[in-house]
Amino acid sequence: MRVLVLHGPNLNLLGRREPHLYGSDSLATVDARIRALAAELGVDVDIHQSNLEGELVTRIQQALGSADGIVINPAAYTHTSIALRDALGAVALPAVEVHLSNVHAREEFRQRSLTAGVCIGVVGGFGAESYLLGLRALVAHLRRTTPPGPAKARTPRAPRRARRPH
């Protein structure tokens, strides 16, 4: 089983950026914790961070056929990116959205997620532990719903078309 883990914008500054909100762990420390849990669960992880929306979209698209699911912290793009939402919906892989802080206890504009609607679940407010909880939940979901074997290419769901009368 293979999981893509994506970190959105500014997460490369973890440990230095507003530690009272996001914690004192660096991104490298968070990634090490993710890799340790993945090994414990017997899962391969592919971890990437980008400040660029298009790069995140490309990573999501590339997951089609190479990953079984996605753990994503879209960060600020959570509230603004239709492109990320569309990419997640297009690949139709199970995804879990994670956040370090409790976005519902923050500014009003942070309380709306454009990406949550195409994810199987959302975890937030537990600092770096949110990633681990999200990974555990995704792996449990995949084990319940995915036949064993390597990741297979999935065809994105096509919209239904109305049938024309003959």
Q: Which residues are catalytic?
A: 22, 99
Distances from the Cα of 76 to the Cα of 29, 87, 92, 98, 99, angstroms: 21, 16, 22, 12, 10
Are 82 and 57 in contact by the 8 Å Cβ rule? The answer is no
Are 128 and 98 in contact by the 8 Å Cβ rule? The answer is no
d(CA 139, CA 2) in angstroms, rounded, equals: 9
Are 88 and 72 in contact by the 8 Å Cβ rule? The answer is yes
